[in-house]
Amino acid sequence: MRKQSSAIRVAYNMLKELGKEKTKNPHSQIYQRLRQLFPDLPTKYIDSAIYKAKQYPTDKSVVFGSKRLFEKLCKNHLTGKLRERLKKQWRELRQGTLISIGSRHETVKGNLLLRFIELDGELHLRITTGNREFIYAKVLREPSNSKDKWITFMAMFLESWQIKNYFAYTVELKLRDGEVYGSVSFEIPTPEVKYTREKGVIAIDTNASPIHLAIAEVSKTGELVSYQTISLHHLLGLSQNSKDHQEWILAHQIVDLAIQKVKAIAVENLKKLKRGVRGDGKATLRKRLHLWNAKKFLQKLKRVAMLKGVEVIEVHPAYTSIIGMLKYAPQLSIDKDVAGAYVIGRRALGFKEDMPENYEKLLKDKAYLEFALEKYEKREKELTELIEKESNEYKRNILKSELRSVEDSKKLLINLIQSLQSEPSSCEGANGRNPEQGRGDKASSSAWQVLKVALLFPILGRVLPRDLSPLKPILVEGAWDRVRSRLAPLEVGGASR
């Protein structure tokens, strides 16, 4: 246990270093280093140590042995039995881990180094030590209820030994209070997928401000059938265990809804979520993102859907929110988050989002673009003056962040105006490139970003407004000329004051 626990810590530190260097194949380098440091450690234990190290986050510091215990032991006033008890707990957490990854290979028989076997009519765990000797530990485990996964594991285990068709299972042992506890992870055979995209999808969009789920039911023809939102504020004050329990319940509810509607589930393929940085002036949002992890919830949702035979379609998240708020929120009079979920559903069904004709005309209107550019220049001047007057560091950071956003928006508009002068027939060359030169998709996507810049702040006065109904006259009638000429502001329905 001590050797592999040390190997896990070494592997983790190397992963952080190699991650900064952007090494393509860190596994082989880490393996060679661990083989030098721990020559007596079996190969599978080294591979398992690297596997375990990859489970820890590399973007923040990790204290092996519990940060809470480490901070307590650093206090000088702890002495005697209390300190010794804490040191024992610290050593067990830091040094008391042994893990072995399983394999389906016939010679491995499920797990090479930590293998379940039958001995004298009882279940034992055969533990392989560093010198290739075996320790046999009796397994004390009884099912807690009829749905206990231990029953499933034992049924699969006995069947595999009878038919000689083994399945992989990973065993992890931990030392706690002088006793060894084990956990087993294995893949449960998944049922056949019964509910597919043939009849449409239930699209899910996760949102942090306010924290909730937007759910849109989309038919196979791409039409919005129904929608709803589920608030997640009640999860923020719960403990991690309670939060996980509530998330599992919510995942089952959504999957049951998909089964009821006979539809698949569509979600975004979230690889990495931005949580902000300290000092950016958005402490409330950062705290909310820290307390609730959308990626983990989607993993639970996919797991439940897989077990219940519901197809899960993951789509690229690029511009789903922008397309939803500009194209569908004003047109269908729905919330921008629901509109984002609607776009996710349409994308899962294979539909492409073309830009409405009036929006394309707007991106070709040089006079309007100059009007929008003037709005940003005015806001840039206001922010510069506010930053000079503001003494609070955190409030200044908020203003500086908005100023950078305004400067970026100005650059996009300037590039678009210049492209109109050089290529007046193209409304998609917003990034200064010809969209026909192998970059059509990228240029089309950037056109949505430019459209957001040209519409939201100049007309609505906010970068991310909740009410997008004033955009409907522009979308339907192309009524941006009144804004440009400043004769009258837009109202809902296109009526002028």
Does residue 60 form part of some domain? yes
CA distance 26 to 32: 10
Q: Does residue 356 sit in helix, strand or coil?
A: coil
Q: Does residue 98 sit in helix, strand or coil?
A: strand
Same domain, 227 and 280: yes
pLDDT in tens, the chain (497 residues): 889 999 999 999 999 888 877 777 888 999 999 999 999 899 999 999 999 999 988 878 888 888 888 888 887 777 788 888 888 888 888 889 999 999 888 888 899 999 999 888 889 999 998 777 899 999 988 888 777 888 888 888 888 888 888 999 999 999 988 889 999 999 887 788 999 999 999 999 988 778 889 999 999 999 999 999 999 888 887 887 788 888 889 999 999 999 999 999 999 988 766 655 555 556 665 666 666 778 888 888 998 898 889 999 999 988 898 899 889 988 888 988 999 999 999 999 999 988 888 888 888 888 888 888 888 888 889 888 888 888 888 788 888 888 888 888 888 888 888 887 765 444 444 443 333 433 344 445 578 888 888 888 888 777 777 777 778 877 777 666 655 554 344 444 444 43
Same domain, 310 and 415: no
Same domain, 215 and 343: yes
> How far lies 450's CA from each of 237, 420, 445, 480, in Å?
39, 13, 9, 16
Residue that is written with structure tokens 């979600």 in the block: 267
Are 483 and 489 in contact by the 8 Å Cβ rule? The answer is: yes
CA distance 113 to 171: 9
Q: What is the tally of structural domains in the chain? A: 4
CA distance 151 to 143: 7
- End of a domain among 63, 98, 133? 98
Same domain, 141 and 204: no
Record the tokens describing residue 191, joined without a space: 């049922």
Residue that is written with structure tokens 């897989």 in the block: 306
Same domain, 328 and 459: no
The CATH number for 208's domain is 3.30.420.140
Same domain, 297 and 380: no
**What confidence score (pLDDT) does residue 286 get?**
63
DSSP 488: S
Q: Does residue 491 sit in helix, strand or coil?
A: coil
CA 394 to chain centre: 27
Q: What is the pLDDT of residues 28-53, one digit of tens each?
A: 999 999 999 999 899 999 999 999 99
Mean pLDDT for all residues in the chain: 82
Does residue 362 form part of some domain? yes
Same domain, 366 and 441: yes
Burial 319-356 (b: 16+ CB within 10 A, else e): bbbbbbbbbbbbbeebbbbbbbbbbbbbbbbeeebebb
Same domain, 427 and 308: no
CA 41 to chain centre: 36
Same domain, 151 and 220: no
**What confidence score (pLDDT) does residue 351 get?**
92
Record the tokens describing residue 157, joined without a space: 């285990």
Does residue 192 form part of some domain? no
Host domain of residue 413: 357-494
- End of a domain among 135, 165, 186? 186
Q: Does residue 214 sit in helix, strand or coil?
A: strand
443 residue type, one letter = A
Same domain, 280 and 138: no
Q: What is the pLDDT of residues 3-29, one digit of tens each?
A: 999 999 999 999 988 887 777 788 899
Q: What is the phi-psi region of residue 177: left when phi exceeds 0, alpha when psi lies from -120 to 50, beta otherwise?
A: left
Its pTM stands at 0.66
Are 273 and 297 in contact by the 8 Å Cβ rule? The answer is: no
- End of a domain among 98, 122, 149? 98
**What confidence score (pLDDT) does residue 495 get?**
41
The CB-based long-range contact list for 10-18 (8 Å cut-off, 24+ gap) reads 10/34, 10/37, 11/49, 11/50, 11/52, 11/53, 12/53, 12/56, 12/58, 12/62, 12/64, 15/53, 15/54, 15/58, 16/58
**What confidence score (pLDDT) does residue 80 get?**
80
> How far lies 47's CA from each of 1, 30, 98, 232, 418, in Å?
15, 9, 12, 39, 56
